[in-house]
Amino acid sequence: MAQKAVQLDRETFSCPICLDLLKDPVTTPCGHSYCKNCLNDHWDTEDEKRIYSCPQCRKSFIPRPELLKNTMLAALVEELKKTGLQAPPADHCYAGPEDVACDFCTGRKLRAVKSCLQCVASYCEKHLQPHYDVAPLKKHKLVEPSEKLQENICSRHDEVMKMFCRTDQQCICYLCSMDEHKGHDTVSAAAERTERQRELEGSRHNIQQRIQDREKDVKVLQQEVEAINGSADKAMEHSEKIFTQLIRLMEERRSDVKQQVRSQQKTEVSRVKELQEKLEQEITELKRKDAELKKLSHTEDHNQFLHNYSLLADFLRYSCEITLDPNTVHTHLLLSEGNRKATSMRQPQSYSDHPDRFTVWPHVLSRESLTGRCYWEMEKRGRVGVAVAYKNISRAGRSDECRFGFNDKSWMLFCDTNSYNFYHNSIYTPVSGPQSSRFGVYLDHSAGILSFYSVSDTMTLLHRVQTTFTQPLYAGVRLHWLSSGDFAEFCKLN
């Protein structure tokens, strides 16, 4: 009963606006009491209406009442503060289904406010207090409540994993360092985290700088569109004046000029819009990668950070720029964008003869040879084949020896309008996955790993090859010259 009475007193002497004990209490003419600052802030928002109301009963006052301190109520509040009694925990302090519960509460458990990586336990405010008061416990690492603390415990030695083995790239406990990891290059998990964090921040800085540069480019292009439209409108006005003077004699010519101006306008705007679209796609991709890196950088658990870092950072670390070799391109493919883009054309292009050129199949290979670990991305439209091949693949003729994916010297993922198929040595494998206009390719030459990814808001593995590569590889593209306008463009990632 005494506890109930104290709780009732706190509710009675609490401000209805801030829900805390009254500070500098004042009373309205209708009899309700508030903190002076709370009520003044409320009435400041009603100054424009010149009508001031009570937040509880909504009674209006004109003009704004003068607020005087309620000395009796202030004295009662001060007396209540001196008792030092606290209201019992509210229901929302107890752990719910989605919360991390305190490991030391008995009966109904309170919600944990921190987890300790050294103790491998979670604490409510009450049971956490020793970590603030006891000297040895003050050195422990406290993080936001986590249900994954057990992942920090070595499954073999049942010890906290505070070290990182650079030789095997994994977190270990101190017993592991004297056992199966003896003689390895080991450091503390915190030290490894610091080094990886520094690398991550450098990557984020580069990406953010590129975002700023691309946004400036987009702004310039928008201004160019406005200039083109303005120039076209002025040209129309000028032509209208001329044709008004000539009337009948120039009527047909007038129509031709109008059509020519609009056609040129449409062509120029379309060109700029296409470039603007590409830049905006690149900005979106950079922001997606920056968001992933930002989320990773805020991970407090060292082990979780190191595990996720190896998944996210490898692609940025091994990204490479691909350009296409004009000496290998089929005559029905047009190279542009600094030889990074190939477009299928119905009319043959005037390329000089060269022994490296594909004569029948609409293929093209990169200039760069690919060894070690490499990652690149490609934008495409239409039916496109994403391939890698040895340099000694045959070029002249219609045989399968010259065709990506139909011999033992090339591997190809073919992206149809609504399906995928993987080809190697004339064997094809159906592949399922989300449709996308952007694809990523990861190559670990020495490990014999070749992976294809669909890239949008997230990266989805489409197909993975495990084999043995005996020669350096070259990136390749397959198009169909009958599908005029289909293209494949290698993206700039650095």
Separation CA 368–CA 271 (nearest Å): 29
Residues 359 and 253 in one domain: no
Tokens 């044709």 found at: 243
Residues 329 and 448 in one domain: yes
What does the pLDDT look like over 402-435, one tens digit per residue? 999 999 999 999 999 889 999 999 999 999 999 9
What does the pLDDT look like over 57-95, one tens digit per residue? 878 888 888 888 888 888 888 887 776 544 444 444 788
Residues 340 and 451 in one domain: yes
185 falls within a domain: no
168 falls within a domain: no
Separation CA 204–CA 86 (nearest Å): 47
Residues 311 and 386 in one domain: yes
Residues 261 and 374 in one domain: no
478 falls within a domain: yes
Tokens 């509040």 found at: 77
Residues 283 and 423 in one domain: no
What does the pLDDT look like over 474-488, one tens digit per residue? 999 999 877 788 999
Residues 356 and 473 in one domain: yes
Residues 485 and 363 in one domain: yes
What does the pLDDT look like over 230-253, one tens digit per residue? 999 999 988 888 888 887 776 777
What does the pLDDT look like over 121-160, one tens digit per residue? 899 988 899 898 888 888 888 888 888 877 788 888 888 8
DSSP lists the bridge partners of residue 476 as 365, 387
- Residue 26 predicted with pLDDT over 70: yes
Separation CA 463–CA 431 (nearest Å): 7
Domain range for 65: 10-82
